[in-house]
């Protein structure tokens, strides 16, 4: 059956006529390479294929042939014009759901409204200081529960440790103290991303006509469904309690330590007749984005510190000099750590979570000012990773320079210093997207990572383990389509600092 399906897909790919005749598809090794083979090669060679397109066509556009669909990759010169378009014309949520295969990942309900975005924009960010205080409390708890404290250098699965820690912190903010300490909920938050990614990537390796059959056969999709049912079971009593109490809080007025979490805000925003099932699932998808992206960034930062240990001493000095109480610092304190911010920005540059960002789906036909046409239903993206390695935009881009942004900030006038912070976006720095649809949780995530790094820098010594040849090498990043992942087998060695 698989061979038949591949043959059908090959024929469709070979004979399909593109409606974008003026836009080149990139990555072909020769005129005779079948499109199906190119689509398969993109799974593991996406970086080279995208870079090839960027090198030749960075000032116009090109097409990426992914197994499940095509992506129109646009020059960032179009970004300012496109970011002004309303969500009704160009949608990031539709792109996310499309990438997750919609019904097959139970994610189509996200298309009905953007509450998961508004809760971050209108409640999390305006109350950032309050939520950072709660995050700090949970981080302190996690350091006593989840972090090994060996006296001698001991191998530690730092990615697993950080995933657990960030699951606790995110859950404290999303669903409150009681639920975030529930081990069943934490396990659910850690399992859900694995089942979602596995289901999505496996299904995207087959033509859409086989998806209904695959959906019935894949164990990970059954586990994914079970995850959503478990979330509904665990959160429905809490949601109903909020509804019965008649939540009436006004945005921006909730400041007491345990008064409200993001779930409570969502209940208030949804009204008394909101469906608990939908709210529970929305929280789980929100947790997915928070835990995966934040733990990946934090893990890569620690790998980079191990690979470039010359930055450890100056970062420790900055923390100890500028922060009166390093382990209990405020948002204002964290903003003073320019060197740490710069190091994290450089780590982001070398380790983006995705090679093509932001991604959008055109919900109407769009014509740009220079005559470029984008047809309804087209998936578009920008070459975010290639921009970060462009020698015309970044000096010596292949060199890891942890204080690159710090030097630039030192040269600016006081009112301009945030231009080079890790959370600032522009048309050349698209790690968090750009414009009104930029990642709304980036301010919380950046501060969360800084607090974690402060703890590790002040409490532990760490290094990369040596391989059989006696070499200590930074773990490599691998790609599946345009998504980037650290080697899941990668570990570090760490020990408590001697006094």
Domain ranges of the chain: 1-99+354-390, 100-353+391-427+431-496
The fraction of the chain above a pLDDT of 90, given in percent, is 64
In terms of CATH architecture, what is 100-353+391-427+431-496? Orthogonal Bundle (1.10)
Whether omega for the bond prior to residue 403 falls within 30 degrees of 0, making it cis, is no
pLDDT for position 64: 96
Strand ordering across the sheet containing 70-74: 24-25, 61-65, 70-74, 379-381, 359-362, 90-91
Asked if 16 contacts 36 with a C-beta cutoff of 8 angstroms, the reply is no
**Residue 419 pLDDT class (50, 70, 90 cuts):** confident
Q: Is the pLDDT of residue 180 over 80?
A: yes
Token readout for 71 is: 């992506």
Q: Tokens for 168?
A: 């606790």
Q: What is the pLDDT of residue 390?
A: 96
Residues 6 or more apart in contact with residue 101 via CB below 8 angstroms: 68, 199, 200, 203, 204, 211
**Residue 272: HSE in the Cβ half-sphere, 13 Å Cα cutoff:** 5
What is the reported pLDDT for 68?
Answer: 87
d(CA 92, CA 468): 45
Residues 153-163 have pLDDT tens digits of 999 999 999 99
The larger pLDDT score, comparing residue 324 to residue 41, is at 41
pLDDT tens digits along 340-393: 999 999 999 999 999 999 999 999 999 988 888 999 999 999 999 999 999 999
Arithmetic mean of pLDDT over the chain:
88
DSSP 426: B
Angle at 341 between CA 459 and CA 317, to 5 degrees: 45
- pLDDT, residue 244, reads 80
Mean pLDDT of 216-221: 95
pLDDT in tens, 239-262: 988 888 765 444 444 444 445 789
Query: 3-class DSSP state for residue 28?
Result: coil
Read off the pLDDT of each residue in 125-131 and give the average, rounded to a whole number. 90
- 313: pLDDT confidence band, cut at 50, 70 and 90? very high
**Mean pLDDT of the region 468-480:** 86
- Once rounded to an integer, what is the mean pLDDT over residues 320-329? 86
Region 386-401 average pLDDT: 96
- Range with lowest mean pLDDT among 86-95, 114-123, 252-261, 278-287: 252-261
pLDDT at 365: 95
Other Cβ atoms within 10 Å of 20 Cβ, number: 16
Alpha-carbon Rg for the chain in angstroms: 23
pLDDT beyond 70 at 43: yes
pLDDT of residue 247: 52
Instruction: Read off the pTM.
Output: 0.91
pLDDT(286) > 70: yes
- Give the span between the Cα atoms of 490 and 457, in whole angstroms: 19
User: At residue 273, does pLDDT exceed 80?
Assistant: no
pLDDT higher than 60, residue 71: yes
Whether residue 439 is annotated as binding a ligand: the answer is yes
What's the token pair of residue 295? Answer: 């733990």
Question: Which tokens go with 335?
Answer: 């903003």
**Beta carbons of 124 and 444 less than 8 angstroms apart:** yes
Q: How confident is the model at residue 317 (pLDDT cuts 50, 70, 90)?
A: very high
User: Stretch 38-60: mean pLDDT, rounded?
Assistant: 94
Distance CA 221, CA 212 (A): 12
What pLDDT score does 250 carry? Answer: 40
User: Comparing 84 with 193, which gets the higher pLDDT?
Assistant: 193
Angle at 394 between CA 388 and CA 400, to 5 degrees: 80
pLDDT at 499: 61
pLDDT of residue 11: 45
Whole-number pLDDT of residue 134: 92
């Amino acid at each position: 059956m698989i061979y038949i399906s591949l043959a059908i897909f090959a024929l469709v790919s070979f004979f399909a006529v593109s409606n974008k005749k003026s836009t080149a598809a990139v990555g072909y090794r020769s005129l005779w390479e079948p499109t199906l083979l190119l689509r398969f090669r993109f799974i593991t060679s996406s970086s080279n294929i995208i870079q090839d397109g960027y090198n030749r066509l960075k000032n116009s556009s090109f097409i990426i042939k992914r197994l499940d669909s095509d992506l129109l990759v646009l020059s960032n010169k179009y970004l300012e014009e496109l970011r002004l378009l309303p969500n009704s014309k160009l949608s990031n949520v539709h792109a996310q759901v499309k990438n997750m295969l919609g019904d097959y990942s139970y994610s189509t309900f996200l298309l009905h409204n953007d509450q998961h975005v508004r809760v971050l924009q209108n409640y999390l960010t305006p109350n950032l200081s309050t939520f950072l205080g709660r995050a700090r409390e949970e981080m302190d708890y996690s350091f006593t529960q989840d972090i090994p404290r060996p006296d001698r250098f001991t191998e530690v699965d730092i990615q697993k440790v950080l995933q657990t820690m960030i699951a606790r912190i995110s859950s404290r903010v999303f669903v409150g103290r009681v639920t975030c300490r529930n081990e069943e909920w934490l396990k659910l938050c850690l399992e859900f991303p694995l089942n979602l990614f596995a289901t999505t990537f496996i299904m995207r390796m087959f033509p859409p006509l086989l998806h209904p059959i695959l959906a019935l056969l894949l164990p990970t999709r059954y586990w994914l469904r079970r995850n959503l049912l478990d979330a509904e079971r665990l959160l429905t009593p809490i949601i109903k309690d909020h509804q019965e109490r008649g939540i009436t809080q006004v945005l921006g007025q909730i400041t007491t330590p345990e008064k409200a979490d993001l779930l409570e805000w969502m209940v208030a925003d949804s009204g008394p007749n909101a469906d608990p099932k939908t709210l529970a699932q929305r929280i789980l998808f929100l947790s997915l984005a928070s835990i995966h992206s934040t733990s990946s960034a934090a893990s890569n930062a620690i790998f980079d510190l191990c690979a470039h240990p010359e930055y450890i001493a100056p970062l420790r000095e900055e923390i100890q000099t500028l922060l009166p109480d390093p382990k209990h610092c405020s948002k204002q304190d964290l903003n003073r750590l320019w060197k740490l911010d710069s190091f994290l920005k450089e780590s982001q540059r070398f380790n983006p979570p995705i090679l093509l960002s932001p991604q959008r789906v055109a919900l109407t036909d769009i014509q740009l000012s220079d005559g470029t046409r984008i047809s309804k239903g087209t998936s578009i993206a920008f070459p975010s990773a290639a921009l970060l390695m462009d020698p015309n935009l970044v000096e010596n881009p292949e060199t890891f320079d942890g204080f690159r942004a710090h030097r630039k900030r030192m040269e600016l006038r006081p009112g301009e210093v945030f231009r080079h912070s890790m959370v600032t976006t522009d048309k050349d720095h698209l790690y968090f997207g750009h414009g009104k649809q930029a990642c709304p949780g980036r301010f919380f995530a950046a501060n969360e990572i800084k607090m974690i790094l402060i703890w590790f820098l002040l409490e532990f010594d760490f290094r990369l383990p040596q391989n059989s040849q006696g070499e200590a090498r930074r773990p490599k990043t691998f790609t599946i389509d345009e998504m980037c992942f650290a080697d899941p087998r990668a570990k570090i060695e760490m020990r408590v600092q001697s006094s």
